[in-house]
Structure 1
Amino acid sequence: MNRPVDHSGFRMVGVVTRTHGVRGGFKVRPETDDPYRFEALETVYLGDALRAHTIREVGFQPLKNGLAVLLELDGVQTREAAEALHGLEVWAAEEDLPPLEDGQVFLSDLVGLQVRSESGEVLGEVVDVVEYPAHPTLSVRRSGGSLSMVPFVEELVPEVDSDAGYLTVVALEGLLDGEPASERD
């Protein structure tokens, strides 16, 4: 029987998307606001089993909406070996990552936070964070069960207190009132 792997102490930093070249290189879609964090890593861990691989080379490729990270790892020497990694999550040990600056958070830490209005009223809970090219967006489950999408930008989410378990959202008409726009007019 397989036991689930304990991911505590690790952060998911990307997902393998496709091969790159013929020497076992591959592209990673970064799951971080700063893809250059990969430069500080010596080791990454692949898949649910968190198999450790030493990084041989890190590169970057500009895309229309950001950067792809190019990785070459010890033990992945051929295109076929890289193809076998397609879709795997790329993890890093938290202790290997550069520290966050003041005001920065890991997006994954937002899931489960209570969503409050500026007056302290509980509006719902963050159930997912969807990353779009412009900015991440919070999926908020309202107390009635409906979902609302809230752009994760400072103007709309001025306060995040992950230690206390909540974030504050600025009340804008239609943002978290649960009514379709056609019913508000």
Structure 2
Amino acid sequence: MRKTYSPSHANRGAGLERLIDMTNQQYRNKGVADIRKIPTPVQIQSNRAGKVTGYTMKPEWVDYSGVHDGRAIVFDAKETSSKTSFPLENISGHQYELLKSWHQKGAQSFLLVSFTKVDEVYLLPFELLELYWEDARNGGRKSIPYTEMILRCDLVKSEKGYVLHYLKSL
């Protein structure tokens, strides 16, 4: 897989999301799954003479949701420029709680984490995220080591014609 990530802070995550969106379209086209990007909510402030002004609101959902093999899927896409760990501060409390709630109800809940400096994407299952999240809440480590991602998470690659074949790991 070639690097397609933008170095600008404003577009952080846009490259990974583009790859996921292309893959999700492939999944839909082949009838494998229906997974969609959830748009960020916008608060309209005014609409004068066709000129709309507003601002993006704090999202209360994760980036993606859908269904695969009759089972709900919810996940978020995250990027880090660190070569050594994935900082848990990249996840908001509401995102964690949503993933947890859906996981408890039988959904496939996870993160797709891109380590941009090494051009690798990992599927971080909710169970491992929960282990580190709860440990951090109790004063433990505030990140997941890259070495742990290598050992306990699936590396997501382009294969079988899919841009980023993450469903293979579920």
Whether these two folds match at TM > 0.5 is no
TM superposition score category, shorter chain reference: under 0.3
Q: Normalized against structure 1, the TM-score is what?
A: 0.26
